[in-house]
Chains A and B, each alone.
Chain A
Amino acid sequence: SQTIHQWPATLVQPVGSPLSLECTVEGTSNPNLYWYRQAAGRGLQLLFYSVGIGQISSEVPQNLSASRPQDRQFILSSKKLLLSDSGFYLCALLQRGETQYFGPGTRLLVL
């Protein structure tokens, strides 16, 4: 079965600093991958999705970007963090075109 790793688990960053969050998956090939953000413990918002290497679609305009340099690697980045970027970031993959599975998440606090 598939496994989703996210790194780091927690991160505290100053406003204006860069960001790089990593998601790697095992046990599957050519998955659809997703980045979600959860603020204040309620509701998840889809930020980006990718159907293959180098293919990124953005759902909402924002200060963040995503990249997929390898089939099983999905990266969330920012050049300059804002206070509003704080939240819980979750990576997910789509299994068999039906079920989404989520990684353990990264808690980001921007001060």
Chain B
Amino acid sequence: GIQVEQSPPDLILQEGANSTLRCNFSDSVNNLQWFHQNPWGQLINLFYIPSGTKQNGRLSATTVATERYSLLYISSSQTTDSGVYFCAVRAGGTSYGKLTFGQGTILTVHP
């Protein structure tokens, strides 16, 4: 099956810093989503981005499908950005919307 690798596994920032999280995948995809898991465990949708670039406030994401990677940018980080960020993909030809998740990046933002 498709493999999803996220880097870095852990990231520690000071409030106000910028960061880039990376997601590499081993095969072509027709669905890619970024999620933020908050300290209570809730998975929050950030982006649906199988290709191209999107922005939402301080967050933006870019997926280069032909090169099999996606990047999540966080600018002017805040303590509320702390948590785990997951990339999840659906391989081309996979039925029923099944997602394969990466292992996540644990982000800690200090005040």
Chain A residues with CB under 8 Å of B28's CB are none
- Cβ-based interface call for A46 (8 A): yes
- Cβ-based interface call for A99 (8 A): yes
Contact of B98 among A46, A97, A107 (CB under 8 A): A46
- Cβ-based interface call for A74 (8 A): no
Chain B residues with CB under 8 Å of A105's CB are 41-42
8 Å CB interface, B77-108 against A? 84, 86, 88, 96-104
Q: Mark B3-19, 1 if CB is under 8 A from A, else 0.
A: 00000000000000000
CB distance from A98 to the nearest CB of B (A): 6
Q: Mark A40-81, 1 if CB is under 8 A from B, else 0.
A: 011111100101000001010000000000000000000000
8 Å CB interface, B23-65 against A? 31, 33, 35, 40-43, 45, 48
Chain A residues with CB under 8 Å of B98's CB are 34, 46, 49, 59
- Which residues of A pack against B, CB within 8 Å? 32, 34, 38, 41-46, 49, 51, 57, 59, 88, 90, 94, 97-102, 104-105, 107
Q: Given A43-B102, A107-B41, list of 4 further CB < 8 A pairs? A: A49-B97, A57-B96, A94-B96, A104-B42
